[in-house]
Amino acid sequence: MSGTEFYEESVFVEGSPCVVLDSVSMTYKVPTTAAGGDEVEGIWARTMRKISGKPARVKVQALNPLSLVVERGESVGIIGRNGSGKSTLMKLICGQEQPTGGAVYASSTPILLGVNAALVPDLSGDQNIILGCLAMGMTRESIDEKFDSIVEMSGLAGSIHLPMKSYSSGMGSRLRFAIAAAVDPEILLVDEALNTGDAQFVDRSRRRMAELRENAGSVFIVSHSLSTIEDMCTRVLWLDYGDLIMDGDPKTTTTAYKKFISRLGKGYEMQAYHLRDASRKRLVAAEVSSRISGRRRSGDR
């Protein structure tokens, strides 16, 4: 089965996970100008493409098979170089895209907050608050009750009545975060939106996500700011070109990633990839050991 399944809360009893990824993978077919790029096409499709003048296509493996279990109360950071599959993973978890392999299960509908989250640029900030909250299922009464706190969270009191297209990218990101966090989502996904904002906004967002975790929710954060990841997360995933390299505590994982990036930056590519591959092997070994232990426990019953 392939797809994203959302289950009622009653299905996930206390102590059960919020999100489960079962061998999830993602492959895209994208246009290319390279010779031989039509390897994903059959003879007939290749002939029709040449007649129509359309570009050839090639397969891009954005995410290799990946399995995860995320419990309630966890804040999961996702780090890695550009093109490693971080945003793809977030889109699969929230159901914005369907995986080409495997399945995603969630205890409720995840809310994705990203710098590209769609609001209406021509509308003012306060109008977008109403629009965004209605889209997430809130009633007008509930919106009215939370309106002031949303504005306070965004830090845009002086600009809230101006068109959103007049906002800087940071201002827009802060507004999106404030709207998304207003509905008390059980599962919140934050894609790069915390990279833009002053210290006060970072403090407010940190407190808000702590509240979400305390209320038995889970948070996923993609960020290039490793200090943000270390401060706000209880667990960190390191992805590199579609592979899960590490899954561990924030300090250990970010330290290994920093060493990898440092070696690449200095031109020590062989050392960098040796470090990455060693981390990947330890992860695979740990997964195998866990599965063997689980089978033994099952056999004892």
pLDDT digit string (tens) for 98-149? Answer: 999 999 999 988 887 654 455 899 999 999 999 888 887 789 999 999 999 9
164, part of any domain: no
132, part of any domain: no
Give the chain's domain count. Answer: 1
106: part of which helix (H) or strand (E)?
A: strand 101-106
Of the two residues 254 and 207, the one the predictor is more confident about is: 254
133, part of any domain: no
Query: Which pLDDT band, with edges at 50, 70 and 90, does 13 fall under?
Result: very low
Sequence-distant (≥ 6) Cβ neighbours of residue 130 within 8 angstroms: 140, 143
**Residues 272 and 258 sit within 8 Å (Cβ to Cβ):** no
**Residues 129 and 166 sit within 8 Å (Cβ to Cβ):** no
Q: Please determine, for residue 60, whether its predicted confidence score (pLDDT) is greater than 80.
A: yes
11, part of any domain: yes
List the end-to-end C-alpha distance of the chain, in Å, as a whole number. Answer: 29
Query: Which pLDDT band, with edges at 50, 70 and 90, does 53 fall under?
Result: low
E-state strands within 206-248: 218-222, 235-240, 243-248
Per this entry, what is the length of the chain? 301
Q: Which pTM was predicted?
A: 0.76
Backbone φ, ψ for residue 261 (5° rounding): -65, -40
pLDDT tens track for 148-167: 999 998 999 999 999 999 99
Residue 240, domain CATH = 3.40.50.300
218, part of any domain: yes
153, part of any domain: no
Q: Please determine, for residue 70, whether its predicted confidence score (pLDDT) is greater than 70.
A: yes
21, part of any domain: yes
Mean pLDDT of the chain: 82
pLDDT tens track for 188-201: 888 765 555 567 77
Expressed as residue numbers, the domain containing 272 is 3-110+185-300
123, part of any domain: no
Q: Which of 211, 188, 212, 186 is nearest to 11 (CA)?
A: 186
